[in-house]
């Protein structure tokens, strides 16, 4: 009798959950909707809708303020763009949009629009602003996007900016120079890895955490080489004395570089440090090297890439263990 009662209760609970779980999965915020005109896909939010699918019908395109009589308040960080024109050169945000992508880190929703020359924001929008072409979130002090086809060769990120969205400068092939404000205390190669013509990064002498040497970005103490701009035309480069760490992706995409020398004192080399260095044929590694993580990201490098190492060192063992070509002084 007891076993039968347990079985009945178990079946009843299973039936109850079978009815509840689909209902939970189908809450309005999880459902996807297509607009009445068929041009947009969106999801409901408490104060309006989040736009995530967009059909562009004009080169100078204004995102709708309302969809199916609901306010557009959010823009998905990676919308599905359907381009029904030859190219998109200008996009205007809706006046009520207050969230673009992830609130904390921000992401550029326009990075796939490679012909985009301008982003516009209505004056009534209190969250976003455009300064010198760049789209900023005032509240999170984040650079969200810079138009990929904007004509200027230099871009100064406005003072007060504390963060750069991960792909804010994606595909900005026209940029040669980027100036960073003192308020920006962190910067990574992922911020500019597709800026194929970037030749120098600039910071002020008073910057609290960063410095540059000939347009190459280092930490303020000079110990970590953060970014060698991938558009530099130099065939060879020797990192300065005092360098101890090569950051993840530091030389990523440096297409002109053929020879690289890292001085004694360099202790570590991060992942992807030489990724996409198609012309690189020789890297001189120091005997001081004790940590390295670059071997898994060399598929786009020259098949002739050779590492010059000293016998009996960590550098030699690391290269041999990973099947890399080595040469000796």
Task: Write out pLDDT tens, residues 68-119.
Answer: 999 999 998 778 888 988 899 999 999 999 988 765 555 788 888 999 999 9
Report whether pLDDT(29) > 90.
no
pLDDT given at position 8:
45
Nearest residue to 232 via CA among 207, 211, 258:
258
Rounded to whole angstroms, the Cα distance separating 184 from 209 reads 9
Whole-model pTM? 0.84
Tokens of 252: 């990523």
Classify residue 55 by its DSSP letter: E
> Over 129-186, what HEC string results?
EEECCEEEECCCCEEEECCCCCCCCEEECCCCCCEECCCCCCCCCCCCEEECCCCCCC
For the segment 271-315, what is each residue's pLDDT rounded down to a tens digit? 999 999 999 999 999 999 999 999 999 999 999 999 999 999 999
Q: How far apart are CA 121 and CA 144, in angstroms?
A: 13
Mean pLDDT across 51-61: 92
Question: What distance in Å separates the CA atoms of residue 50 and residue 223, rounded to the nearest whole number?
Answer: 44
Residue 236, SS3? strand
- Indicate the length of the chain as a whole number: 329
Q: What mean pLDDT is predicted for residues 32-49?
A: 92
Per-residue pLDDT at 328 exceeds 60: yes
Q: Is the pLDDT of residue 67 over 70?
A: yes
Q: What is the model's pLDDT at position 256?
A: 96
Which pLDDT belongs to residue 102?
60
- C-alpha to C-alpha distance for 214 and 184, rounded to whole angstroms: 20
How far apart are alpha carbons 37 and 59 in whole angstroms?
Answer: 19
Predicted confidence at residue 239, as pLDDT, reads 98
Q: In this prediction, what percent of the chain has a pLDDT beyond 70?
A: 88
pLDDT at 191: 62
Paired tokens of 117: 């020359």
Q: Which candidate, 32, 89, 101, places its Cα nearest to that of 58?
A: 89
- CB burial of residue 136 (10 Å; 0-12, 13-18, 19+): buried
Mean pLDDT across the chain, nearest whole number?
Answer: 89
pLDDT mean over 33-57 = 92
Q: How many CB atoms lie within 10 A of CB 39?
A: 16
23-27, 182-186, 234-238, 282-286: least confidently modelled range: 23-27
Q: How confident is the model at residue 28 (pLDDT cuts 50, 70, 90)?
A: low
Helix (H) or strand (E) holding 212, with range, is strand 210-213
Largest CA distance in the chain: 85
**So what's the pLDDT on residue 27?**
57
Provide the edge-to-edge strand list for the sheet that holds 306-308.
Answer: 236-238, 259-261, 282-284, 306-308, 325-327
């Amino acid at each position: 009798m007891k076993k039968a009662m347990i079985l009945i209760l178990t079946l009843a609970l299973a039936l109850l959950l079978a009815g509840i779980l689909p209902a939970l999965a189908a809450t309005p915020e999880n459902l996807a909707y297509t607009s009445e005109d068929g041009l947009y896909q969106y999801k409901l939010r408490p104060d309006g809708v989040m736009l995530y699918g967009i059909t562009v019908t004009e080169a100078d395109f204004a995102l709708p303020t309302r969809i199916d009589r609901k306010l557009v308040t959010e823009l998905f960080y990676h919308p599905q763009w359907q381009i029904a024109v030859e190219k998109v050169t200008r996009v205007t945000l809706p006046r009520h949009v207050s969230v673009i992508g992830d609130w904390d880190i921000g992401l550029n929703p326009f990075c796939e629009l490679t012909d985009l020359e301008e982003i516009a924001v209505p004056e009534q929008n209190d969250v976003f602003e455009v300064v010198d072409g760049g789209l900023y979130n005032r509240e999170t002090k984040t650079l969200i996007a810079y138009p990929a086809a904007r004509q200027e060769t230099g871009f100064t990120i406005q003072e007060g900016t504390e963060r750069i969205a991960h792909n804010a400068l994606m595909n900005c092939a026209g940029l040669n120079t980027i100036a960073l404000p003192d308020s920006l205390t962190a910067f990574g190669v992922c911020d500019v890895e597709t800026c194929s013509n970037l030749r120098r990064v600039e910071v002020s002498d008073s910057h609290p955490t960063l410095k540059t040497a000939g347009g190459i970005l280092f930490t303020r103490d000079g110990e970590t080489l953060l970014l060698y701009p991938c558009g530099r035309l130099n065939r060879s480069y020797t990192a300065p004395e005092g360098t101890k760490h090569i950051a993840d992706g530091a030389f990523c995409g440096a297409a002109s570089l053929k020879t690289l020398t890292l001085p004694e004192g360099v202790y570590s080399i991060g992942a992807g440090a030489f990724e996409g260095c198609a012309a690189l044929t020789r890297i001189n590694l120091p005997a001081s090297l004790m940590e390295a993580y670059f071997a898994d990201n060399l598929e786009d490098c020259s098949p002739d890439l050779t590492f010059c190492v000293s016998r009996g060192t960590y550098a030699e063992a690391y290269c041999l263990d990973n099947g890399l070509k080595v040469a000796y002084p």
